[in-house]
Structure 1
Amino acid sequence: RRDLAYKRLNEIEGISAAKPEGAFYIFPRVEGVGSIWRTDKDFVLELLREEGVLVVHGSGFCPTYGQGHFRAVFLPPKEVLSEALDKLAAFMERHTRR
């Protein structure tokens, strides 16, 4: 599931992530924070409202280094994880191609 999340996130335009080494979560960067979305919190709230996908804003973990990131857990079954990643990809495509 880690490899699936890592691969799929890095295929989404505007998202980049390092491969986690030992955790059950990933901490991707969102390029549109500061331009499309004012903050990473705005990004995660809009993603939740529009797609029903729940992730946590990165600045909630560290206001300095977490800004512009989000945290996602990759523990769900692959089918559930794939569906959430499909929704994230559609969300990003809608918002970055304006």
Structure 2
Amino acid sequence: MQVEAEKGEKEGYDEGKEEEERDEEEEKKGKERMKKNWKKENGRREKSWQKEKKRKKKKSKKEKKWKKCKWKKENNRKKKKKWKNEKKRRNKKQWKERG
């Protein structure tokens, strides 16, 4: 009888352990699901955030390009003016020397 009682206690104890283990496994699975869902949501958010970042980057690149072009155009205008003025001066000197 004592042997049977001990077996019963052991079996009951084992059953309790099994239930606890099941509960722990279910909790782990639940946590994993939560993590996956969280990652999915955050992944979506990150993607939109990345798209926004790319848009801003493109915009800034275009602005830089435009500024650079504007700067080049202004410099070219200045160079042309200098060149024309020098040409005029040379012509005046030549006319004075001739005349």
TM-score by length of 1: 0.22
Higher share in helix: 2
Query: Larger C-alpha radius of gyration, 1 or 2?
Result: 2
Compare relative contact order (CA 8 Å, sep 6+) and give the higher one, 1 or 2.
1
